[in-house]
Each structure stands twice: as structure tokens, then as C-alpha cells.
Structure 1
Amino acid sequence: MNSLSAKFQFYSKKRLFRYGLPFLLFVAGGSFGLREFTKLRYQFSKKTTIKPEELEKKGIEMKKPGEVTLESEFEKIKTLDIDNWEPIRGPRPWEQQPQKK
């Protein structure tokens, strides 16, 4: 028993034992800990699809699939006049007018 405590004292003075071993345990333990946290993240982030009937109950209207296309949006952009524009400064929170009741 005395030799075991003597070996422990001998190795506890070494730099590898004092700094390297805790670092390796921290890195290896951290990877296992992160794995558990990511499992929880994906376990509770289950995405479900919402049916159009459910949206209609909430008062949200969906567009038809062929109603909006990339080409139609591109045509809207073509009609914009990008050469003549004026920068408009938005209101700052401290400059906002009090709301009328």
C-alpha cells in the first residue's frame, strides 16, 4: 500500500500527469457530453407539416403552387426604375411620434 501512494506522489509531480491527463479527459468527456446535448436538440425539434385546412382555420391564406413563379417575380423586378431613387431615412426609436388614441 505504501508503494502505491509513493507512485501516486511521484506521478502527481509530473507535468503530463498534472496538465495533460486532465486536458485529455476534458476533451474526451466534452465530446461525449456534446453528443448527448445534440441528441436532445434533435429529439425535441421534430418538425411537422401543417395541412392547408389547419391554416384556413387560423385565418392564413396560402397561394396556389403555380401562382408565384420565379419568372413572374423577375418580371416585377424588370419594371422597377432603379436609376431614379431617393434614400429615405427610417424613424429612430427616440424620434417616433406618440401614437394617437
Structure 2
Amino acid sequence: MWNQVRKLQKNRTVKYGIPMLLLIVGGSFGLREFTQIRYDAQKIKKKLDPALEARVKNKKQSTILQEEYEKVKDLDLDGWKNIRGPRPWEDSKEQQQAQLNKGT
């Protein structure tokens, strides 16, 4: 019997292969647990304060969109001018002066 144990201890598959497989399979289960902790923590962080959540739920999406429309309605979208920004190798102050001189 001790002979068989010694033979198994010298066998390369038993000596290197089985520990490697245990490491891979055990690591997989360990990583699953750690990632689950990560996602659970993110869920907890995303929860809002109950008072704030009640205020957010009371507002409807259409009223928010109406407010944004009122802000944008008065903007002059037809009278804009396309101004090129400076290239990385150009001096920005010179470009600004050139754009001002072109406009007048």
C-alpha cells in the first residue's frame, strides 16, 4: 500500500495537474462570489433617499420636457456662425484674432 502512495506522489499528473485543476475550478467559484459582492454593493449605492425618490416620482417626464422646450424656444438657432478652433500646433490667440478680424 505504501508503494502505491509513493508511486502516486511521483506521478506528474497527481503532483502538478490535480492542484492546477483545483486552483482553476476553485478560483472560478471564488471570483463568482467576489463579483457578486461588487454588484450587490452597486445596487445599494444606487438606491435613493425615500424622500428624494418620492419627489422624483411625482414629476412626470412630459412636464420636464415642457420646461426644457420653454428654455430652448427663445434661442436663435438660425443666426449662428461656424468658427473653426485652433489646431494643436497653432496659437489659439492668433486664431481668435483672425476670427474677430474676419467678422468685422
What's the TM-score once normalised by structure 2's chain length?
0.49
> Which one has the bigger helix percentage?
2
TM-score (normalizing by structure 1):
0.50
Q: Which has the larger radius of gyration?
A: 2
